[in-house]
Structure 1
Amino acid sequence: MNHEPHPPRDEPNQEPDHTPEHERLHYPPRIYVASLADYVDGRLHGTWLDAAREPAAVAADIQKMLARSPIPGAEEFAIHDFENFGYLRLGEYEQLDWVCAVARGIAEHGPAFSAWADVMDGNLDALAQFTDNYLGDYPSLSDYGAELLAGYGLDELLDRVVPESLHGYVKVDIDGYARNLELSGSVATYPHESGVWVFSG
């Protein structure tokens, strides 16, 4: 998609963070909105906007962009590009309420929110449930299962009830436990480059 070049800026820190903490983005999600009247006329007229704001503020900036169009009465626009929306892909005619809510969530909570928004697939009300459902970022679902079992005190229980001579023969099927968590709907996962985000089912 041809549009105005991105403004130059420093490269963000590329070192991955694999902890289950919310990872904040260094740059806010942005959208490139363009005048459809100009586009149909073979002209590029648009602007990059910070989307992590209230919809009314973004809409006002879009109207300013349309008012600067050389075509009188230009009223319609489309999203022709976007950046820093993580795993979510925006369509040209997404509702601003949805776009801004997602952008604000990503700016506050990091890329995991983009996965949540992708799963919610346009359900605006469900976006607010992210903090209640996000369980963390893990190298694998089995790592989450192991942490969960450790929290139940399973290792201490086995130490108490299993003779030391049998410890090497008694194993917990953590992988199977983790798979069952997902198959039963207790949790849901969203894979990314270095692991999975885990959400309650």
Structure 2
Amino acid sequence: MTERFSGHEGPERPTDAKRVERYVNLGASEAEAYNVGELERIALERRERQQPLHPRLYIRSTIDQSRGDEVGGWIAAARDADTMTADILAVLSRSLATRRTGTAVGEWEIGGSEDFEQAEPDKHESLPVVSALAKGIAQYGPAFAAWASIGHELQGHYDVAIMQRFPDAYIGDFASIQTYAEHVIVQRGAVEAIEQLPEWLQHITRLDWHGLIQHIEWNGDIHVVDHDNGIWVFDSRSTLAPTNHQDTKGGEHA
């Protein structure tokens, strides 16, 4: 986690008392509950200020570059491959090599990218893969880029089949692993189960919140990706299923 808070700073501290109480009831100390709750509050405020992403590519004419000329342009990437191809041809139509020789230029590369977050395509990435990346990022935000990067790390390339599993794989955006542990406890009905116990047994029954956090961090059931506002959590089973990968890398990018 990138932020930590410790100690008490007086009655004007902004953390919601109910948030602190919630974590204390799960077995956290008051100091831990305050720290986690404060991270949760700050993460929420930052998410509310987050701007939409609009991925785009800088397309460069490689023929012109080889002759010492920079000819290129930016195109929107969150569209289908055919639409991007039309935009690329429009960029290449400005080629200085074409003006000199009268021959249309068809060779290009990706010279830069914006708003792809950590899932930046390499210069020879295929348009179908770029399209899948950009559309997912535009629709779901930076969490999709994190998911695509997990697939790239595991497969050695951006895998469209893995990208398509994002809606099933994405568990959520949490301020910390502690808030995710609270999510698991609530989702599985642990609090309600304790409340159904006889009153005398409720008083001596405690959730092992710290033990659950340790279990989550070590059992391998999830992928956790850190970001500035907390963590993204994904179901790791969605990256283990086999994919039918076809090599969609472009050759000359014509």
TM-score bracket for the superposition, by shorter chain length: 0.7 to 0.9
CA contact (8 A) 1:33 1:78 kept: yes
Letter of the aligned partner of 1:50 in structure 2? A
Q: Which residue of 1 aligns with 2:185?
A: 149
CA contact (8 A) 1:24 1:108 kept: no
Q: Which residue of 1 aligns with 2:47?
A: 17
- Structure 2 CA distance for aligned equivalents of residues 25 and 100 of structure 1: 20
Q: Which residue of 2 aligns with 1:97?
A: 128
CA shift, 1:78, in A, is: 1.2
Structure-2 change in CA distance of 1:183 and 1:87 (3 Å): same
- The alignment partner of 1:106 has SS state of helix
Count the aligned residue pairs: 181
- Structure 2 CA distance for aligned equivalents of residues 87 and 116 of structure 1: 10
Letter of the aligned partner of 2:146 in structure 1? A
- Structure 1 CA distance for aligned equivalents of residues 178 and 112 of structure 2: 37
Q: Which moved more, 1:158-167 or 1:86-95?
A: 158-167
- Structure 2 CA distance for aligned equivalents of residues 71 and 65 of structure 1: 13
Which of these residues, 175, 183, 206, is aligned with residue 139 of structure 1?
A: 175
Q: Which residue of 2 aligns with 1:9?
A: none
Q: Which residue of 2 aligns with 1:87?
A: 118
CA shift, 1:75, in A, is: 1.9
Per-residue CA deviations over 1:87-127 (Å, capped at 9, x if unaligned) read: 22221111111111110001111110000111111111111
1:129 aligns with 2:144: no
1:188 aligns with 2:223: yes
CA shift, 1:166, in A, is: 4.4
CA shift, 1:58, in A, is: 0.4
Q: Which moved more, 1:152-161 or 1:186-195?
A: 152-161
- Structure 1 CA distance for aligned equivalents of residues 201 and 208 of structure 2: 19
- Structure 2 CA distance for aligned equivalents of residues 77 and 134 of structure 1: 35
Instruction: Give unmatched runs, 5+ long, in structure 1.
Output: 1-14
Per-residue CA deviations over 1:42-71 (Å, capped at 9, x if unaligned) read: 111111000000011101211221122010
Letter of the aligned partner of 1:152 in structure 2? R
Which one has the largest radius of gyration?
Answer: 2
The structure where helix makes up a greater share of residues is: 2
- Structure 2 CA distance for aligned equivalents of residues 80 and 171 of structure 1: 57
> If the length of structure 1 is used for normalisation, what is the TM-score?
0.80
> If the length of structure 2 is used for normalisation, what is the TM-score?
0.65
CA contact (8 A) 1:25 1:106 kept: no
The CA RMSD over aligned residues, in Å, is 2.3
Letter of the aligned partner of 2:200 in structure 1? P
Q: Which residue of 1 aligns with 2:91?
A: 65
- Structure 1 CA distance for aligned equivalents of residues 214 and 135 of structure 2: 32
- Structure 2 CA distance for aligned equivalents of residues 150 and 183 of structure 1: 20
What does 1:142-181 align with in structure 2 at a 5 Å threshold?
142-159=178-195, 160-161=197-198, 163=200, 166-167=203-204, 170-181=205-216
- Structure 1 CA distance for aligned equivalents of residues 215 and 233 of structure 2: 14
CA contact (8 A) 1:24 1:111 kept: no
Q: Which residue of 1 aligns with 2:57?
A: 31
What percentage of residue pairs aligned between the two structures are identical?
Answer: 30
- Structure 2 CA distance for aligned equivalents of residues 132 and 25 of structure 1: 24
Q: Which moved more, 1:177-186 or 1:146-155?
A: 177-186
CA contact (8 A) 1:138 1:196 kept: yes
Which of these residues, 67, 72, 83, is aligned with residue 41 of structure 1?
A: 67
